[in-house]
Amino acid sequence: VTALPPGFAAAGIHCGIKSSRTKLDLGLLAAAAPRPAAAVFTRNLLLGAHVTVSREQLARSKGMVRAVLVNSGNANCATGAAGIADAHRIIRHTAELLGCAPEHVLFWSTGVIGARLPVDTIADGLPSLVSSLHEDGADDFARAIMTTDTRPKVHTARSGAARITGIAKGAGMVHPDMATMLGFLLTDALVPDPAAALRDVAARTFHCLSIDGDTSPNDAVLLWSSGAVDSAGALPELRAAGRSLCRAIAADGEGASRLVTIVVRGAPDEGAAARVGRAIATSPLVKTAIFGRDPNWGRIVAAAGRSGVALVTERMRLAIGGAVVFSEGRPHPAAEASAHRHLAESEEVLLELDLALGAGSAECWTCDLTPGYVEINASYRS
Amino acid sequence: VTALPPGFAAAGIHCGIKSSRTKLDLGLLAAAAPRPAAAVFTRNLLLGAHVTVSREQLARSKGMVRAVLVNSGNANCATGAAGIADAHRIIRHTAELLGCAPEHVLFWSTGVIGARLPVDTIADGLPSLVSSLHEDGADDFARAIMTTDTRPKVHTARSGAARITGIAKGAGMVHPDMATMLGFLLTDALVPDPAAALRDVAARTFHCLSIDGDTSPNDAVLLWSSGAVDSAGALPELRAAGRSLCRAIAADGEGASRLVTIVVRGAPDEGAAARVGRAIATSPLVKTAIFGRDPNWGRIVAAAGRSGVALVTERMRLAIGGAVVFSEGRPHPAAEASAHRHLAESEEVLLELDLALGAGSAECWTCDLTPGYVEINASYRS
């Protein structure tokens, strides 16, 4: 059972958005009373209704959130003014059941774009969802927000006396600018400036994650703190929670057979390191080579070479699973057997690139590109 | 037989870089005497030796080119100072055989990264290559520069009394910033400023082409003019030649089953139109949907939404094969049957997106993303 920080409860049910009765499709997170939260949203200009509505709600409530409702299976995106009205109707209904003002209820959606939300189906499910809120409900909630995910993503940690629970979903349309990803970081730690803390965490974690280079109109991450425990912000543990969820999303990337961690060191600064790491993480040629268990250093170096960072190939040092396959401007064929073994045998592939230009570093995550990715996305209407 | 403009000759042979004796791997283009040329090269910072050397040669010769030698099968990239010396040795040898100064000979390479060039193999093949130069040699040359291409790419046209012959190769690692693509535009038209003309053509054609979003260290396009015919620059016909070669490369993209043409209109300016087109052309989700014959307007609109162009989704109008599937901020499900038929039955898929913001337009080309792409790149060491 995934524990929630004291003061939070969760639930997840099947209300009927998804046809399969075994798949949960409506989830709820609730605090005992409105508590401080901050959110980051997709930078895509095609926006799901929930992004527009959540920004209004958070402005009106000054970031005080009582509950977050999430449906999966329908993104309520490209649904125009009707979609916004649908979202508000569900929010009002949820607020009534919880006995709070509507501005304290967020409502997020993920799933198929362009179809009207089945408002009656969701409304019919709300009473039983609210009545099943429970301190042990995190796992049901994590399952209720899944779309093409094959498994729920949760993370729990302690920061001194405080607890942190992270929950996320995402498997495709995932990119540094955020994607079909929803993330929740819940804590009872007192976080003095949730918006600043979330920007810090997102820059280091959610913005360093790519499945396929596509971004979605619906992505959102929420940091939410009950503030019961004064533990100086818990920033390191929040970063670790974000990192853990990103790794879980990359490992469960559509069709993935390998989690790929890219560590870039020696960049002029952190931003440059992240740009190089993301260029590698989004390269279809790197990702297909990893699927082929091919220690193809040339594609990795070439991807870094198009990152926009002024790197010097003669200084670069690239290791695959610890085996240095490229340095001083040339390959080391003798190291390839060891690198190949790493690719063949490790579920997590580690690419380490030292640019030898400065002190900036970053970690990025992706997965390999497989025929399974193509099959899933040739047939799934996202 | 693909005709060359008067004053040019070409040849292609198998010299032994590729193991299969039926595959040509060494090609030569020659003018009767040094003639004006201009080149654009990859923006990748990992550079094939030929990019470095060609820039020097073109500076020294003031753009006067007598011959271009091309080998396929070995990119002479990440080979350090030795690779540069290898290139110079082959250039000297070729210049001797042709009886010209070395600075008038360019030598381009495409193929596997990180292996030393088989200099002796190439040198041994040079005499028979030079002696087989012929005005009808364009088709042999076009085959000699192929790597994962399944067919040669040639284009011939007239501009008044002048002729234009375009030859290119490329199937993967292809992106707007240029990739494992080599292109040649030969003409006997007098082109007053070849560099300016090539920049114009590349911006409208080669920089609007993407197979997989990866760029290669070796890409280069040459515009080369004998200048015998004064036809005011032949710019429209040169643009058409670039467009034709780009379409041929996209249609032969690794694993492709469909050529995809993306026409963006109504953008604030041409650059913005190209950015939107390229965002769509590089979206794995759009490309897998096309493979799945799914008129998935949501993914196309979402890709445009992450292009960085300040578009207004309510104004956008998207047609697939002429069927308007999205406008006024919402989808038109009734049009999807027609769009699906287009995807299922047309070898060329046409996506037309009107942003209704201005007068800028652009055309971009890509192909669908198929299991075949993954298979090719999981096993091929580029």
CA distance B130 to chain A (A): 32
Q: What share of chain B is helix, strand, coil (3-state, %, to 5)?
A: 35, 30, 35
Given this model, what pLDDT does residue A122 score? 98
Contacts of A173 in chain B (CB under 8 A): 285, 302
pLDDT at B176 (0 to 100):
38
Name the band, by pLDDT with cuts 50, 70 and 90, for residue B179: very low
* Mean residue pLDDT across chain B: 87
Residue in B289, B314, B381 nearest the CB of A378: B289
A166-188 average pLDDT score: 67
| pLDDT confidence band for A113 (50 / 70 / 90) | confident
State yes or no: is A180 an active-site residue: yes
Please provide the DSSP assignment of A63-124 as one string: TEEEEEEEEEEE--BS-HHHHHHHHHHHHHHHHHHHTS-GGGEEEEEEEESSS---HHHHHH
Amino acid of residue B100: C
pLDDT at A199: 81
Residue A177 has pLDDT above 50, yes or no: no
Contacts of B306 in chain A (CB under 8 A): 43-45, 175, 177, 214-215
How far is the C-alpha of A360 from the C-alpha of A276, rounded, in Å?
11
Do A221 and A204 touch, CB atoms closer than 8 A?
A: no
A339 vs A247: which has the higher pLDDT: A339
Rounded mean pLDDT of B49-57? 92
pLDDT band for position B147 (50/70/90)? confident
Quick one: pLDDT band at residue A198, thresholds 50, 70, 90?
Answer: confident
Interface check B291 vs A, CB under 8 A? yes
Q: So what's the pLDDT on residue B191?
A: 82
Looking at residue A175, its pLDDT comes to: 46
Q: Do B216 and A377 touch (CB under 8 A)?
A: no
Tell me if chain A has a CB within 8 Å of the CB of B214.
yes
Question: pLDDT at position A218, please?
Answer: 65
Cα–Cα distance measured from residue B279 to residue B306, given in angstroms and rounded to the nearest whole number? 7
Would you say A184 and A241 are in contact if contact means Cβ atoms under 8 Å apart?
A: no
Q: What is the distance, to the nearest Å, from the Cα of residue B131 to the centroid of all Cα atoms in its chain?
A: 28
Confidence of residue B302 (pLDDT cuts 50, 70, 90): confident
For chain B positions 35-54, those within 8 Å of chain A (CB to CB) are 43-47
Q: What pLDDT was estimated at residue A123?
A: 97
- Percent of chain A at pLDDT exceeding 90: 48
Residue B178: predicted pLDDT: 34
Q: A110, A156, A165, A180: which is the annotated catalytic residue?
A: A180
Q: Are A24 and A110 in contact (CB under 8 A)?
A: no
**CA-based nearest residue to B315, from B365, A215, B305:** B305
User: Does B350 contact A at CB distance below 8 Å?
Assistant: no
Q: What is the pLDDT of residues B3-28, one digit of tens each?
A: 999 999 999 999 999 988 889 999 99
Residues 225..264 of A with a Cβ closer than 8 Å to B: which?
none
Is the confidence at residue A51, as pLDDT, over 50? yes
Nearest to B2 by CA among B138, B132, B134: B138
Question: Which residues in chain B touch residue A327, judged by CB atoms under 8 angstroms apart?
Answer: none
Strands (E), B310-358: 317-320, 323-327, 330-331, 348-354
Residue A378 pLDDT greater than 90, yes or no: no
3-class secondary-structure state, position A41: strand
Residue B175 pLDDT? 46
Per-residue pLDDT for A295 more than 60? yes
Nearest to A371 by CA among A235, A255, A220, A239: A255
Report whether pLDDT(A50) > 80: yes
Looking at residue B211, its pLDDT comes to 61
**Confidence (pLDDT) at A187:** 84
Tokens at residue B136, please? Answer: 């009808």
Query: Residue B115: what pLDDT?
Result: 85
Q: What is the pLDDT of residues B219-245, one digit of tens each?
A: 677 788 888 888 776 888 888 888 888
The predicted-structure confidence for B321-376, as pLDDT tens digits, reads as follows 999 999 988 899 999 999 999 999 999 999 999 999 999 999 998 899 898 888 88
What is the predicted pLDDT for the residue at B180?
Answer: 57
B171 contact A CB<8A: no
Is the CB of residue A343 less than 8 Å from the CB of residue A349? yes
Distance CA A172, CA A180 (A): 7
Please answer yes or no on whether B46 and A302 come within 8 Å at the CB atom: yes
Q: Bin A105: left if φ > 0, else alpha if -120 < ψ < 50, else beta.
A: beta
Structure-block tokens of residue A338: 């060891």
ipTM score: 0.70
Residue A131 has pLDDT above 90, yes or no: yes
Q: How buried is A190 (Cβ within 10 angstroms: 0-12 exposed, 13-18 middle, 19+ buried)?
A: middle
Mean pLDDT lowest for which of A128-132, A227-231, A276-280, A336-340? A227-231
- HSE at residue B25, side-chain half, CA atoms within 13 A, is 23
Q: What is the pLDDT of residue A47?
A: 79
Residue B21 forms contact with A (CB below 8 Å)? no
Integer angstrom CA distances of residue A215 from A245, B3, B141, B234: 17, 46, 42, 41
d(CA A376, nearest CA chain B) in Å: 9
Please tell me the pTM assigned to this model.
0.77
Mean pLDDT of chain A: 87
Binding-face residues of B in 138-157 toward A, CB within 8 A = none
- Among A residues 78-117, those touching chain B with beta carbons less than 8 Å apart: 78-80, 112-114
Q: How far apart are CA A324 and CA B43, in angstroms?
A: 26
Q: Does B375 touch chain A (CB under 8 A)?
A: yes
Mutant choice from A46, A117, A291, A297 vs B, greatest count of B C-beta within 10 A: A46
A107 pLDDT more than 90: yes
pLDDT of residue B218: 65
Q: Write out pLDDT tens, residues B182-211.
A: 778 888 888 888 888 888 887 777 777 766
- Model confidence pLDDT, tens digit, residues B107-127: 999 888 888 999 999 999 999
Q: Which helix (H) or strand (E) holds B378?
A: helix B371-379
pLDDT of residue A133: 97
CA dihedral A124, A130, A132, A133 (to 10 degrees): 150
Q: What is the dihedral of CA A206, A210, A212, A214, to 10 degrees?
A: 40
